[in-house]
Amino acid sequence: MPFIANTDAERQEMLAFLGLDSMQQLWQKAHVPEPEFDFSQLPAGISELEVSRHFNDLAAKNGSGLVSFLGMGHYDHFIPAAVSDVLIQAGFYTSYTPYQPEASQGTLQAIFEWQTAICRLAGMEVANASLYDGGSAIFEALTMSMRSTRRRNEIVVSEAVSPIHRKMLDTYCASLDLKIIPVPARAEKSDIAGILAAVNESTACVIVQYPNVFGSIEDWSSAVAAIKEKGALAVCSAYPTALALLKTPGEMGFDIVIGEGQPLGMPLSFGGPYLGYMCTTNKLLRKMPGRIAGQTTDSRGRTGYVLTLQAREQHIRREQAMSNICSNNNLCAVAALVYMSVLGKEGLREVASLCHDKAAYARQRLSAIPGVEALGDSPFFNEFVLQLPTDAKPLLAELLKKGYAAGVPLGKYYPGRERQLLVAVTEKRDKAEIDLLAESLEALL
């Protein structure tokens, strides 16, 4: 049996120390009944070499060689080697929650640095140590808004927020005493007038996405002011890479900024783990869920870091806690911090610029195909909507066969948009790939 140190002789010695002859006696002393199930029905254990072969076979059954234009919240960005190297260091990946701060300064300082970096990127005052993902982070922002606005229980959600995140929200809210008020998008834009019209004295918060799910960049400054005027909170789910270029949610006045941190150095890995980030204002700090690291000093005056403001959390407050969350996606937050450090102030801007430039080229190139139209006239970041002459689905299937995951068909999430394709372009795509996609698509029409 792998991963177990003690030999039979040592086990016998330990049992003897307990005054026992057999493990059987120890199970009895611990009141554990005999097994009912015969575990030998399950497959027998295999070696490291065999499991490696099996995994290589499974991995080969996946289409990893595809040229991907898939996005809608999770993106195929380049990850520098230094990021994954740091993550396999013993101190980061084999440690646990920093319950003993003196033996966990590495994790605690890294969280403090992560909080700093994400606040600077989002233009906000404070951040937590991270949440599970961008979708669950929206729910945490929702409950935080309800706590912060007292009895208010209506939540206005733009339908230009990721439909996947909105589905998660529906699940989490099913048994709660609140009402979600969805506001349909107008073409490729958020319906700002419709959103403002839905805000009333019961509204706890308004949730929007930036850039929105169709890729459009919208300036929310005056809408945020109007939302706050009515006593509601303004919540923004933001694509962190885009924030290296764009006006920050902080500059626009948002109260809570959350989002999916996967683009900051996490592989796509078929759904996770990813990284929920959350930033807010000093005013709302004590309503924020999740772990927070803070700076302090030791008895000799040396600077150190601890988990702080823990009275908000489940292990102290139990059912009155701000959330049930216990973990943070720490290793993912460390990945994001290393990513932001090795790319740096200029590097992250370059990534964002490359994304935008390549998306602009792809949009122009693809919409030059007869019968294909790029929708909307809003500025966009790295994602845009293409209208195809026929249903998107069969075309996508054909393009897959040619090696392109050409985009996300919107009809599944937005009835009526069956001919539309959401195309995402990152710095990893080159001009030749975009040209070849365009040629392949044109050949199919």
Position 300: which residue type?
A: R
Residue 202 neighbours by CB under 8 Å, 6+ apart:
152, 153, 154
Q: Does 8 bind another protein (CB under 8 A)?
A: no
Q: Does 181 bind another protein (CB under 8 A)?
A: no
Site size toward another protein (CB under 8 A) is 207
Q: Does 418 bind another protein (CB under 8 A)?
A: no
Site string for another protein, 183-202 (x = CB under 8 A): --------------------
- Region 353-372 residues binding another protein, contact defined as CB under 8 A: 353-354, 356-361
Record the tokens describing residue 93, joined without a space.
């990946």
The span of 115-123, 180-188, 196-204, 222-230 binding another protein (CB under 8 A) equals: 115-123
Choosing from 170, 229, 377, 439, the residue that interacts with another protein (CB under 8 A) is 170
Record the tokens describing residue 248, joined without a space.
């920050």
Closest by alpha carbon to 158, among 212, 105, 83, 87? 212
d(CA 359, CA 348): 17
The span of 24-32, 187-195, 198-206, 224-232 binding another protein (CB under 8 A) equals: 24-32
Provide, rounded to whole angstroms, the least separation between the CB of residue 360 and another protein: 3
Q: Does 439 bind another protein (CB under 8 A)?
A: no
61-65: Cβ within 8 A, 24+ apart: 63/400, 65/403
Choosing from 194, 231, 376, 379, the residue that interacts with another protein (CB under 8 A) is 379
d(CA 431, CA 436): 9
d(CA 131, CA 259): 10
Provide, rounded to whole angstroms, the least separation between the CB of residue 403 and another protein: 10
Q: Does 416 bind another protein (CB under 8 A)?
A: no
Provide, rounded to whole angstroms, the least separation between the CB of residue 230 and another protein: 25
Choosing from 194, 231, 272, 376, the residue that interacts with another protein (CB under 8 A) is 272
* Cα angle value 156/160/165 (rounded, 5°): 75
Q: Does 237 bind another protein (CB under 8 A)?
A: no
Q: Where does residue 213 rank: exposed (0-12), middle (13-18), buried (19+ CB within 10 A)? A: buried
d(CA 5, CA 188): 60
Provide, rounded to whole angstroms, the least separation between the CB of residue 195 and another protein: 19
Q: Does 27 bind another protein (CB under 8 A)?
A: yes
Q: Does 148 bind another protein (CB under 8 A)?
A: no
* Distance, C-alpha 275 to centroid of its chain: 4
d(CA 292, CA 287): 12
Q: Does 244 bind another protein (CB under 8 A)?
A: yes
Provide, rounded to whole angstroms, the least separation between the CB of residue 1 and another protein: 4
Choosing from 67, 123, 160, 234, the residue that interacts with another protein (CB under 8 A) is 123
Q: Which residues pair with 445 in a beta bridge?
A: none
The span of 151-159, 168-176, 181-189, 224-232 binding another protein (CB under 8 A) equals: 168-176
Q: Does 273 bind another protein (CB under 8 A)?
A: yes
Closest by alpha carbon to 130, among 26, 244, 272? 272
Q: Does 95 bind another protein (CB under 8 A)?
A: yes
Q: Does 76 bind another protein (CB under 8 A)?
A: yes
- Cβ-contact 159, 322 below 8 angstroms: no
- Cβ-contact 282, 126 below 8 angstroms: yes
Provide, rounded to whole angstroms, the least separation between the CB of residue 369 and another protein: 17
d(CA 235, CA 137): 11
Closest by alpha carbon to 351, among 206, 205, 244? 244
d(CA 31, CA 143): 43
SS3 of 259, please? strand
Q: Does 4 bind another protein (CB under 8 A)?
A: yes
- Backbone phi and psi for residue 123, each to the nearest 5 degrees, phi listed first: 70, 35
- Rank residues 78 and 193 by Cβ distance to another protein and give the closer one: 78
Q: Does 40 bind another protein (CB under 8 A)?
A: yes
Q: Does 51 bind another protein (CB under 8 A)?
A: yes
- Rank residues 320 and 370 by Cβ distance to another protein and give the closer one: 320
Task: Supply the Cα-derived Rg of the chain in whole angstroms.
Answer: 25
Provide, rounded to whole angstroms, the least separation between the CB of residue 224 and another protein: 15
Provide, rounded to whole angstroms, the least separation between the CB of residue 335 and another protein: 10
Provide, rounded to whole angstroms, the least separation between the CB of residue 407 and another protein: 9
* Distance, C-alpha 11 to centroid of its chain: 45
Provide, rounded to whole angstroms, the least separation between the CB of residue 406 and another protein: 9
- Region 283-322 residues binding another protein, contact defined as CB under 8 A: 285, 291-300, 302-306, 308-311, 313-321
- Region 252-271 residues binding another protein, contact defined as CB under 8 A: 260, 267-271
Residue 52 neighbours by CB under 8 Å, 6+ apart:
none
